[in-house]
Amino acid sequence: MSADDWWKHGIVYQVYPRSFQDSNGDGIGDLDGIRARLNHLVSLGVDAVWISPVYPSPMADFGYDISDFCDIDPRFGTLEGFDALVQEAHAKGLKLILDFVPNHTSERHPWFVHSRSARSDAKRDWYIWRDPAPDGGPPNNWLSNFGGPAWSFDEVTGQYYAHSFLKEQPDLNWRNPEVRAAMYEVMRFWLRRGVDGFRIDVLSQIVKDAQFRDNPLNPDYVEGQDTFLRWTMLHNTDLPEVQPIVAEMRRVVDEFSDAHSSRVLIGELYLPLPRLVAYYGLNAQGVLEGVQLPFNFQLIGADWQAAHIDRLVRDYEAALPAGAAPNWVLGNHDRARIASRVGPRMARLAAMLLLTLRGTPTLYYGDEIGMTDVPIPADEVQDPFEKNRPGMGLGRDPERTPMQWSADANAGFTTGRPWLRLASDWRTCNVEAQSRDPDSMLALYRRLIALRRACPALHRGSYEALEAGNDVLAYARIGEGRRLVVLLNFGAAAAPVPQALLPRRPLVLASTDPARAGPVDGALVLSPGEGVVIGNEGAEENQDPPV
């Protein structure tokens, strides 16, 4: 086992803390709730839990507007409670990854309070301030991700400040070395408390153009689309100056790595593939000095077709720098749930895809029981993204609803009123009910994760693309002298599998169809939406065949 094994070959599970488990009846999930549910993660078989922000916050953007980077919001608990969570997670063999939000603070953060107090204040340059344009308007045409200009005017000092998101989230000036030093100390604060790494929020946006030039028109913009798409974000995202900062962040976490366990950086990066892989930070000496896992979100927006996914997997594998660890993501707190995007049967296929591709998989809480997006009435909307840009369908509340644990009141999530409404199926779609059903989605996830952990070919082996027809995605996973074949039917019709792809005496090791198990007798025909992992009936431990 190497120090990197846990993040290279393990599984990450994302917890959205407001929605995982409430321990005190206020309707909002908290740290003690997460601690009470760690056994679920252990029984599922994951290796690390990533927790979205739990810092003190006015909650204008539900924790991504941070007023103190080195404490815990009382809604979620205390620093002592956080320490207890880290300790218990480690005792159960789980790593803990914390969200790090470097792009901005809350407007109520003491740094910004000082910064906006006067142009002469020592922290003025910790944020991005500019004089108005000649017409008195914003300094340039940059837009906020949450709608409107990326600039707000401050009456006290007569300048605009930049904010890539809400006006309550002013952007830090990462060109200022004092800002960088202060944020690196934030990282060290949590690393000293035992966290095993960070998921870095909107990493590509932390540096803006020094000349504050207007963004150019997007040549692909179509009238009627979201106005945010009118401009190409050339001058306020993915600038070359980001890369040295990423290398500095990496050196900070490397200070806390040792021979037994390395600390990890995971970057949130919605970028084209050539730019995404640049964040691995391959330097001139061939050393990777960037984030170890630049999040690969291709499956979130992919056309759900075998040929399309086959192409993106091949392209991704080919683009990876030497020594880089791949990773895959099906969903998160900002995107519609996989079961809503592709339907319940295809969500089972997606689970097999995620857990058999080469690289680190990230699971989003609730996907293991097939949770779907929950329609939120207009008068119950919480997400500022939806409130600021109504009618665009951008709200993220539907994928953030409370975890469904049991058929007890409020799905076992809270004894109070949940902060968001529950799905209508919570009485039947929950962890407790699915734990008793061997054909459930939860049972499938547990079987696939157990198989992945048991087979080196799956958790550390190489990837070989195979050809199996238009609707079947086929590939082999090879490692430690063994070979497994994965076959996924994305089509709406039954699909015969070419005999040449199957090993001698083929054995179904896992299937998305509960009715299929054991040796393959004769031709193998996959049902619509069925996936299988094939080994060899005579292989060691009946798991996989010799290469």
All domains of the chain, ordered by start, with CATH?
Answer: 5-103+177-447 (3.20.20.80), 110-162 (3.90.400.10), 462-542 (2.60.40.1180)
| pLDDT the model gives residue 227 | 87
Mean pLDDT confidence for 242-257: 98
Percent of the chain with pLDDT over 90: 92
Query: Could you identify the residue written with the tokens 């591709």?
Result: 357
**545 contacts 503 by C-beta, under 8 angstroms:** yes
Which comes out higher in pLDDT, residue 540 or 71? 71
Confidence band (pLDDT; 50, 70, 90) for 224?
confident
Q: Which of 362, 280, 266 is nearest to 321 (CA)?
A: 280
How would you classify the pairing of strands 482-489 and 48-51? Answer: unpaired
**Residue by residue, what is the 3-state secondary structure of 108-134?**
CCHHHHHHCCCCCCCCHHHECEECCCC
Q: Using one digit for the tens of pLDDT, what is the confidence trace for 485-507?
A: 999 999 999 999 999 999 989 99
Label residue 286 left, alpha or beta by phi (over 0 means left) and psi (-120 to 50 means alpha).
left
pLDDT at 128 over 50: yes
CA 272 → CA 155, 316, 319, 390, distances in Å?
39, 11, 11, 28
Catalytic residues: 201, 255
Residue 540 predicted with pLDDT over 50: no
Q: Residue 532 pairs with which residues in a beta bridge?
A: 487, 511
Residue position matching structure tokens 């999040």: 295
Q: Exposed/middle/buried for 22, CB within 10 Å: 0-12, 13-18, 19+?
A: buried
Strands 506-511 vs 518-519: parallel, antiparallel or unpaired: antiparallel
pLDDT at 543: 46
- Mean pLDDT for the stretch of residues 462-468: 96
Average pLDDT over residues 110-120: 98
> Residue 95: enclosing H or E segment and its boundaries?
strand 95-100
Top-confidence residue, 223 or 339: 339
Q: What angle do CA 359, 360, 364 make, to 5 degrees?
A: 135
SS3 379: helix
DSSP annotation of 170: P
Q: Does pLDDT of 225 surpass 90?
A: no
What is the distance between the alpha carbons of residues 431 and 404, in angstroms, rounded to a whole number? 7
537 pLDDT band, cuts 50/70/90, is: confident
Q: How confident is the model at residue 252 (pLDDT cuts 50, 70, 90)?
A: very high
**How confident is the model at residue 246, as a pLDDT?**
98
Q: What is the distance between the alpha carbons of residues 358 and 459, in angstroms, rounded to a whole number?
A: 7
Instruction: Tokens for 222, please give them.
Output: 């179509």
What does the block give as tokens for 181? Answer: 């030093």
Q: Over 50: is that where the pLDDT of 545 sits?
A: no
Q: Give residue-wise pLDDT tens across range 136-191.
A: 999 999 999 998 999 999 999 999 999 999 999 999 999 999 999 999 999 999 99
Contact in structure between 262 and 7 (CB atoms under 8 Å): yes
Residue 308 has pLDDT above 50, yes or no: yes
The answer for residues whose C-beta is within 8 angstroms of residue 285's C-beta and 6 or more apart is: none
193 CB-contact burial (10 Å; exposed 0-12 / middle 13-18 / buried 19+): middle
pLDDT of the residue at 515? 87
